Structure 1
């Protein structure tokens, strides 16, 4: 797989879930169990449910077609912590690129009780069984808005979502982004989100951060795919 960052626009995303007998978890069960115990110390909210990982991604003109499979969350976390040892598998997720009416972006700072505590990125989550439809399709559009609601407290009435998708490939991470625009400045949006976070019983975010230009890219806390996205966006301005 090509590990160099690639960014492209598409008008459609199709996603399906198909069975896959993933060998890596079977071969690394002891490491997975020890890693999960280490990861969950002091984090009772972490739950080993089923999530969806990418086994294939294809592009056809203006279409991105993704094929997922089910796996335990503990297996997924261990695969990440081991350094992505199976190069055929990827983490592919939908993400809302939240921005204010002034064009500045608003990222979340992940809370201490989460897997990625202190990391800075847009609200997102690995697709799970709640995104799976009876016909085997994966509803990434709903996954995007659900994660926004859970992390920021914003509802679909609070913003506009672009139809276009921006696919950021930095294997083994594939982020499927849509621009999400608030009818207020980024400063006003950040204040609204902070108020929402303060009212949540167990918030996933500890704060938000505004990104106005390349000077706000944080290489220590932002994942590589997001750094690539911001560099691409700000180069076009």
Structure 2
């Protein structure tokens, strides 16, 4: 698989969920169990639910077609912590590139009780079975808006979502982004999100961070795909 960064625009994303016999968790059950104990120590809000991983992604002109399968979250986390040992599997997730009316972006700072504590990126989450429709399709647009609401408190009527998708790919990470624009400045949006976080009983975020230019990229706390996205988007200005 290509591990170089690729960024492309597509007008449509189609996704489905199909059964897949992933052998790696069966072969590494001991490591997965010990890793989960380590990961959840002191983090009671973490639970081992089901999530969706990518088994295939195909680009056809302006279409991105994804095929997912279900796994335990503990298996997914162990696979990441082991250094992505199974190269045919990928982490593909929808993400809203949240920005204010002034063009500045608003990133989340993940809370101490989460898997990625202290990391900085747009509000997002791994798709899960609630995103799978009765016909087997995966509604990534719904996943995007659900995660925005759960983490920031913003609801669909609070912003505008572009139809276009921006795919940032560095296997085994594939971020499927849509521009999400608030009708207020980034400062006002950040203040509103902070107020929402303060009202949450167990917030996933500890704060938000405003990104105005490439100078605000944090190589220590931002994942590589997001650094690449910001380099790309600011180069176009």
**In structure 2, what is the equivalent of residue 131 of structure 1?**
131
Residue by residue, what CA displacement relative to the aligned partner does 1:110-164 show, whole Å, maximum 9, x if unpaired?
0000000000000000000110111000000000000000000000010000000
TM-score, normalised by the number of residues in structure 1: 1.00
**What are the residue-to-residue correspondences of 1:166-205 with 2, within 5 Å?**
166-205=166-205
Q: Report deviation, 1:171.
A: 1.0
2:185 paired with 1:212:
no
Residue by residue, what CA displacement relative to the aligned partner does 1:158-185 show, whole Å, maximum 9, x if unpaired?
0000000000001110000000000000
**What number of residue pairs does the alignment pair up?**
237
Query: Is there any run of 5+ residues in structure 2 with no aligned partner, and where?
Result: none
**In structure 2, what is the equivalent of residue 100 of structure 1?**
100
Q: 3-state SS of the aligned residue for 2:135?
A: coil
**In structure 1, what is the equivalent of residue 146 of structure 2?**
146
**In structure 1, what is the equivalent of residue 34 of structure 2?**
34
**In structure 2, what is the equivalent of residue 117 of structure 1?**
117
Q: 3-state SS of the aligned residue for 2:184?
A: coil
Q: Which runs of 4+ in 1 moved over 4 A?
A: none
Q: 3-state SS of the aligned residue for 2:157?
A: helix
**In structure 2, what is the equivalent of residue 83 of structure 1?**
83
Residue by residue, what CA displacement relative to the aligned partner does 1:193-236 show, whole Å, maximum 9, x if unpaired?
00000000000000000000000000000000000100000000
- CA–CA distance in 1 between the matches of 2:14 and 2:193? 31
- CA–CA distance in 1 between the matches of 2:204 and 2:49? 17
- CA–CA distance in 1 between the matches of 2:196 and 2:121? 18
Query: Is there any run of 5+ residues in structure 1 with no aligned partner, and where?
Result: none
**In structure 2, what is the equivalent of residue 227 of structure 1?**
227
TM-score, normalised by the number of residues in structure 2: 1.00
Q: 3-state SS of the aligned residue for 2:192?
A: helix
- CA–CA distance in 2 between the matches of 1:236 and 1:25? 42
- CA–CA distance in 2 between the matches of 1:198 and 1:104? 23
**In structure 2, what is the equivalent of residue 55 of structure 1?**
55
Q: CA RMSD in A?
A: 0.4
- CA–CA distance in 2 between the matches of 1:155 and 1:127? 18
